[in-house]
Amino acid sequence: MSRESRVPAVPFLTSAASLLCPERSRAFQEGSELSQDQRNSVDLIASVGDLPRHETERLLSKATHRPRPELLLGVPITDTELATFEALATRRRAGEPLQYLEERIPFGPIEVTVDRRGLIPRPETGQRCALAGDAVGEPQVSLDLGTGSGNLALALKHAFPDAVVYATEISPEAAALARENARDANLDVNVLDGDLFGPIPEHLRGNVDLIVSNPPYLSEAEIGGLPEDVRDHEPRIALVAGPTGDEVLAVIASKAPGWLAPGGTIVCEISEFRGAAMEELFAPLGGEVRKDLAGKDRFVIGRA
């Protein structure tokens, strides 16, 4: 993703830099005239005024292949690194998600690749993983429906190394991404192409200890209200369920009882506006809605 072409100037490093130090701002714009001692990471981070500071730090970390704490101590920035950073920052300003620009992001104890093939893992997804672990103890067989990048299935396999973990994905591109992440993490997760329960081996009926899912749960009318970097870049198939938003969760709720083992648990992420509807859908499994860290309805838990 880095670009080797050199840029003669960094036009966006002006507003904040000119306020903080006019001479430094002019020097950064002249780029090639800076010595390695003058052009350092601390000054560069301080001079970017139109991106959140944490985003600037993360993009510079990507461009330089250095950890953020090291950048905050002040290290020289090369011409190639500066050009790469500028290219990344330009793409971010155009609305491309920060995580897609970083390419590799942490998810709990693991790290995964993310790109346009799969939904970006959110903090809520990590909370769902913790809820699942607390609810089920030591699962022998786990299933992740609509795995996307595979982050949740891989986190479960990492947490429960003796468990057999299956992950299904309707998008061939996302399934390929999940397999790549499983290979890179050296974790044995069975990624199956297909929709929800469709590709799961029949012998697992009534034998699954844990089902997790972050399914699409937005309605078609809600897609327009999403932030630009989500609406225009993340896969629509992972976001929108249908006219009401409940379509995929309704299928999961109706079929899960046939797959769960006695005492098995299901944990699904839901829309913050659909808590009551989800309790009704999952009533046969004793559906209980839990809130996320922001206090919003975000998960439904059921037990066989």
Of all residues in the chain, the percent with pLDDT exceeding 70 is 86
3-state secondary structure of 72: coil
**Does the pLDDT value for residue 4 go beyond 70?**
no
Q: Tell me the β-bridge partners of 169.
A: 193
Measured CA to CA, the distance from residue 173 to residue 140 in angstroms comes to: 28
Digit-coded pLDDT (tens) for 268-297: 999 999 999 999 999 999 999 999 888 999
Average pLDDT over residues 43-60: 94
Digit-coded pLDDT (tens) for 89-98: 999 999 999 9
Gyration radius of the chain over CA positions: 23
Q: pLDDT-based confidence at 109, cuts 50/70/90? A: confident
**Does the pLDDT value for residue 21 go beyond 60?**
no
pLDDT of residue 136: 76
For residue 74, give both structure tokens. 């002040």
Q: What is the domain partition of the chain in residue ranges?
A: 15-94, 116-303
pLDDT of residue 125: 67
Measured CA to CA, the distance from residue 167 to residue 152 in angstroms comes to: 9
Residue of 7, 80, 9, 94 lying closest to 50 (CA atoms):
94
pLDDT of residue 12: 29
Q: Tell me the β-bridge partners of 297.
A: 291
3-state secondary structure of 264: strand
Average pLDDT over residues 68-78: 94
**Does the pLDDT value for residue 158 go beyond 70?**
yes
3-state secondary structure of 205: coil
Digit-coded pLDDT (tens) for 143-155: 999 999 999 999 9
Residue of 114, 117, 138, 141 lying closest to 125 (CA atoms):
114
**Does the pLDDT value for residue 261 go beyond 80?**
yes
**Does the pLDDT value for residue 62 go beyond 90?**
yes
Average pLDDT, the chain: 87
Of all residues in the chain, the percent with pLDDT exceeding 90 is 78
| CATH number for the domain whose boundaries are 116-303 | 3.40.50.150
For residue 181, give both structure tokens. 């992440």
pLDDT of residue 126: 67
Query: Which residues are CB-contacts of 187 (< 8 A; sequence separation ≥ 6)?
Result: 110, 154, 157, 158
Decide: 196 and 252 in contact? Cβ < 8 Å: yes
For residue 65, give both structure tokens. 């292949």
For residue 158, give both structure tokens. 């990492």
Comparing 21 with 139, which gets the higher pLDDT? 139
Question: Strands, DSSP E only, in the chain?
Answer: 104-107, 110-113, 141-145, 164-169, 189-193, 208-213, 218-219, 240-242, 260-269, 288-291, 297-303
Average pLDDT over residues 112-129: 84
Q: Exposed, middle or buried, 239 (CB in 10 Å: 0-12/13-18/19+)?
A: middle
Decide: 285 and 229 in contact? Cβ < 8 Å: no
Digit-coded pLDDT (tens) for 220-252: 999 999 999 999 999 999 999 999 999 999 999
Digit-coded pLDDT (tens) for 184-225: 999 999 999 999 999 999 999 999 999 999 999 999 999 999
For residue 55, give both structure tokens. 């985003």
